[in-house]
Amino acid sequence: MSTPAIPTAAVEQTRAPTTASVRAEWRRRRPKAVPIPPDEAARQGAISQLAFLMLGREAAIIFLNTVHEGLGGRPLALATASAAGRAEVEAELARMAYHSHGDSGPDLPAAAMRLADGA
C-alpha cells in the first residue's frame, strides 16, 4: 500500500525557516536608510577625528553627542550640518585644549593641527 502524497504547500508551511530566509525577511522589512551627502560625511569624519585626537576617545564621544550650551546644540550635529558649524566646534575644541594645558597652549600632535587647518 502506498502512502498518500502530501501537498507541497503543506510541507512548506511546516518547515522551519532557514537563516537565509530570516535574513531576507529582515532586509525586506528594514527601512531604507538614506546616506548623508558626501560633504556632510566629510565634515562629520573630520570633526570626529579632531575631537578624538584632542580629547581622547571617551571624552570626545561625550563632547560630540551632548548638547553644548555655548554652541547651542550637539557639536557633532552642528559640525556636520555646515562649514560654519564645523568652524564653531573646532574653535570650542581649541578653547578646551588651551584651557586644559594652561597658558602654554595645547601640545597637540601634528595630525590634529593639520585637521584644524582643514588639510
Express each pLDDT in 26-65 by its tens digit.
Answer: 777 777 778 899 999 999 999 999 999 999 999 999 999 9
Query: What average pLDDT does this structure show over 15-23?
Result: 69
Express each pLDDT in 56-89 by its tens digit.
Answer: 999 999 999 999 999 999 999 999 999 999 999 9
Contact 12, 4 (CB under 8 A): no
**d(Cα 100, Cα 55) in Å, to the nearest integer?**
10
pLDDT on residue 42: 96
- Domain borders along the chain are 38-116
pLDDT on residue 1: 54
CA atoms within 13 A on the CB side of 81: 10
Q: Exposed, middle or buried, 12 (CB in 10 Å: 0-12/13-18/19+)?
A: exposed
